[in-house]
Amino acid sequence: MSEPADDRGPGRRQTSPEDTAAFEGRLSELGGRLDKIKAQREADAHADLDADMRGRGMAYGMRMAAELVGAVIVGGAIGWGLDKWLGSTPWLFLLFFVLGFAAGVLNVVRAYEGMQKEIMVRTGGRIGNKVPDDED
């Protein structure tokens, strides 16, 4: 054998102090790169979720409008029908129109509660958190 005998065992034959330092440098660099990729991946997932929720936002918005308008129409129609029947034009129409509006607001509040629950479940609370209110 031309090389000098090494007493540190077969696995460590080539590890000089400089090599160890270089190895540790590479290791920490690799760790840094991994962290960066992980953060990037998380940001991507968040962006995907955000885009998905934005698409749903339009559906939710349409739903809210339909909930409110539908109740006002039903209220108005009931009042109008009763007026025709009882000959009390326009008082019952006015009353039921306002009641229909109240029912519409009730619908919207209920729909919102449902949506909030659904969004919280779907996003794990990362998107759609409660915004702190001035009055709180």
Partner 1 sequence: MPDPIHQFEIHPILPIKIFGWDISFTNSSLFMLLTVVLITAFFMLSMRSRALVPGRLQSMAEVGYEFVGNMLRESTGHAGMKYFPLVFTLFTFIFVCNMLGMIPGFFTVTSHIVVTAALAALVFLTVLAVGFAKNGIRFLKLFVPSGVPILILPLVILIEIISFLSRPISHSVRLFANMLAGHITLKVFGGFVVMLLGAGTFAALSPLPLLMAVALTALEVLVAFLQAYVFTMLTCMYLNDALHPGH
Smallest separation (angstroms) from partner 1 to the CB of 74: 4
* Cα 43 off chain centre by: 13
The residue from 83, 92, 93, 99 that contacts partner 1 (CB under 8 A) is 99
Q: Which amino acid would we find at residue 71?
A: A
Q: Is 61 in the site for partner 1 (CB under 8 A)?
A: no
Structure tokens at 26: 């590479």
- Stretch of 6-14, 31-39, 62-70, 123-131 lying at the interface with partner 1 (CB under 8 A): 62-70
Smallest separation (angstroms) from partner 1 to the CB of 136: 24
Q: What is the DSSP string of 44-91?
A: HHHHHHHHHHHHHHHHHHHHHHHHHHHHHHHHHHHHHHHHHHHT-TTH
The residue from 34, 43, 73, 94 that contacts partner 1 (CB under 8 A) is 73
Structure tokens at 51: 């885009």
Q: How many CA atoms lie within 13 A of 69 on its CB side?
A: 6
- Kindly state the number of chain residues that form the binding site for partner 1, as judged by CB under 8 A: 24
Q: Is 92 in the site for partner 1 (CB under 8 A)?
A: no
The residue from 83, 92, 93, 107 that contacts partner 1 (CB under 8 A) is 107
Structure tokens at 56: 């749903």
Q: Which residues bind partner 1 (CB under 8 A)?
A: 55-56, 58-59, 62-63, 66-67, 69-71, 73-75, 78, 96, 99-100, 102-104, 106-107, 114
